[in-house]
Amino acid sequence: MIKRLKHFASVVGCAAAVALALSATALHAQEIKIGALFPLSGGLALLGDESLRGVQLAVEERNAAGGINGQKIVIVKADAVDANQAVGEARRLTSGDSVAAIFGSYASGIAVAATQVTELAGVPYFELGAVADTVTGRGLKYVFRSNSTAKNFADRSIESLTQVVAPALKVDPKALKIAIIYEDGPYGTLVGGFQKDEAKRLGLNVVESQSYSAKTVDLSSLILRVKSAGADIVLHTAYQNDAVLFFRQATAASYKPRAIIGAGGGYSLNDTAQAVGAPMEGVFDVDFPQITMNEAGAQGLKEFTAAYQKNFNMLPRSGHSLVNYVGAKAFLEILARAKSTDKDKIRETVLAYRQPPGSSAAGWGFQFGENGQNQLATTNLMQWQHGKLVTVYPAAVATAKPILSN
């Protein structure tokens, strides 16, 4: 009796397994899996999550409009807090989950590590937020990037100095003494290095250029150096804590340059402005486009903001969600146009994809170079005015005029 029961149970078990497998394949035909690889825990979690939100919104919008050629898009999340974990998670996505493509990754170190794996596995990698130029500069065929790079940050900050700040101060840019200071991690070193090159190319007068550890608790010596060099303009590439420290100690040393131009990171965050207080007023900042820019030069910005608020019950915490959304949206469209998950077909479609500047919610257009880099992605110049970060340059997306005293 017991034997028969066992036999019966195994038959039922087998049948159930077959049915499950069948239904899984049936489901599989109607959906397309994409990986989303971001730092979702650890120190980078805040902006990693903010970036992921952009991808989620783009996928949701695409799914509501019918997905990719009738297939529903499913996001497979991967948490990569550092380069090591990025490699492991990229392996899992490409082999275990067999995703059609991977979207990522906020931090450059993570992007560089993950793309090594995906390139070998032949899975396209769409970078939406990491800025290091090396991500697309290594000759990898299936790595594409929608966002602007460290070089854009550096060039825009120098351009802001020559085109916006110097004319407003009514001086020749070459007459201004410039200090370039930056944290000595990959991010600061890249931006600071490009700034030095560009300043040299234009024959600007750089009187001081210094890096420092972002984990320092004292910048007073650096400030004394910059102050004794008599710098009029400070170009500062920093994270959050060191930006706050710089302002606190500059105030203590009663040093006030004629203009400070920050580059991304800490300078764009409301928390930084709150922690710094009054000295933040009038400070410039070059960064990814933010939701406060002019709708006229950024089609669909209002819709993005509304969708974000509806989903997350708050305003975007930074511009990261916006640029990730814009990039993800474009790459999803590319996947649809490719009508295939074949990597070479996708590459061909990416390179053929063209959108004019101003056509996306970030104000960017799309045109990819042979290296997979979008050449129409830019950064904007913003300024803290009355406690708010407003866009002041370029004119197409500006919402306010730059304010400079004396």
Between 320-338 and 343-352, two packed helices, what is the crossing angle to 10 degrees? 110
Q: Which of 25, 254, 313, 406 binds other proteins (CB under 8 A)?
A: 254
- In this structure, what token pair is assigned to residue 193? 């290095």
Least Å distance between CB 229 and other proteins?
A: 12
Pairing, β 380-385 against β 388-393: antiparallel
Interaction between residue 240 and other proteins (CB under 8 A): yes
Residue 156's nearest CA partner among 397, 330, 400 is 397
Least Å distance between CB 81 and other proteins?
A: 11
Q: Which amino acid is located at 18 in the chain? A: V
How many separate helices (H) and strands (E) can be counted in the chain?
A: 13, 14
Contact string 44-73 vs other proteins (x = CB under 8 A): xxx---------------------------
Q: Which of 144, 212, 247, 288 binds other proteins (CB under 8 A)?
A: 212
Least Å distance between CB 196 and other proteins?
A: 14
* CA atoms within 13 A of residue 397's CA, in its CB half-sphere: 28
Interaction between residue 274 and other proteins (CB under 8 A): yes
Q: Which residues pair with 385 in a beta bridge?
A: 388
Interaction between residue 294 and other proteins (CB under 8 A): no
- In this structure, what token pair is assigned to residue 15? 């049948």
- By beta-carbon proximity to other proteins, the closer residue of 97 and 184 is 184
Q: Which of 138, 201, 215, 302 binds other proteins (CB under 8 A)?
A: 215
- By beta-carbon proximity to other proteins, the closer residue of 123 and 222 is 222
Least Å distance between CB 43 and other proteins?
A: 6
Stretch that binds other proteins, among 18-26, 153-161, 224-232, 306-314 (CB under 8 A): 224-232
Least Å distance between CB 274 and other proteins?
A: 7
Least Å distance between CB 384 and other proteins?
A: 16
Q: Which of 228, 309, 311, 375 binds other proteins (CB under 8 A)?
A: 228
Interaction between residue 213 and other proteins (CB under 8 A): yes
> How far apart, in whole angstroms, are the C-alpha atoms of residue 374 and residue 141?
14
Interaction between residue 224 and other proteins (CB under 8 A): yes
Task: Tell the residue number behind the tokens 């991808």, with chain if given.
Answer: 55
Q: Which long-range contacts (CB under 8 A, 24 or more apart) does 165-174 make?
A: 165/233, 165/259, 165/261, 165/284, 165/402, 165/404, 168/402, 168/404, 169/258, 169/259, 169/404, 169/406, 173/202, 173/204, 174/203, 174/204, 174/205
Task: Tell the residue number behind the tokens 């061909």, with chain if given.
Answer: 348
- By beta-carbon proximity to other proteins, the closer residue of 46 and 351 is 46
Interaction between residue 80 and other proteins (CB under 8 A): no
Least Å distance between CB 275 and other proteins?
A: 4
Q: Which of 75, 87, 229, 253 binds other proteins (CB under 8 A)?
A: 253
Check: CB of residue 104 under 8 Å from CB of residue 87: no
Interaction between residue 206 and other proteins (CB under 8 A): no
- In this structure, what token pair is assigned to residue 389? 């970060």
Stretch that binds other proteins, among 19-27, 87-95, 240-248, 286-294 (CB under 8 A): 240-248
Interaction between residue 244 and other proteins (CB under 8 A): yes
Residue 381's nearest CA partner among 189, 193, 154 is 154
Check: CB of residue 144 under 8 Å from CB of residue 127: yes
Check: CB of residue 379 under 8 Å from CB of residue 148: yes
Q: Which of 95, 220, 309, 375 binds other proteins (CB under 8 A)?
A: 220
Stretch that binds other proteins, among 199-207, 270-278, 287-295, 352-360 (CB under 8 A): 270-278
Interaction between residue 84 and other proteins (CB under 8 A): no
Check: CB of residue 282 under 8 Å from CB of residue 384: yes
> How far apart, in whole angstroms, are the C-alpha atoms of residue 262 and residue 283?
8
Interaction between residue 268 and other proteins (CB under 8 A): no
Q: Which of 97, 184, 197, 333 binds other proteins (CB under 8 A)?
A: 184
Residues of this chain that bind other proteins (CB under 8 A): 41-46, 184, 210-213, 215-222, 224-225, 228, 240-241, 244-245, 248, 251-254, 271-272, 274-275, 277
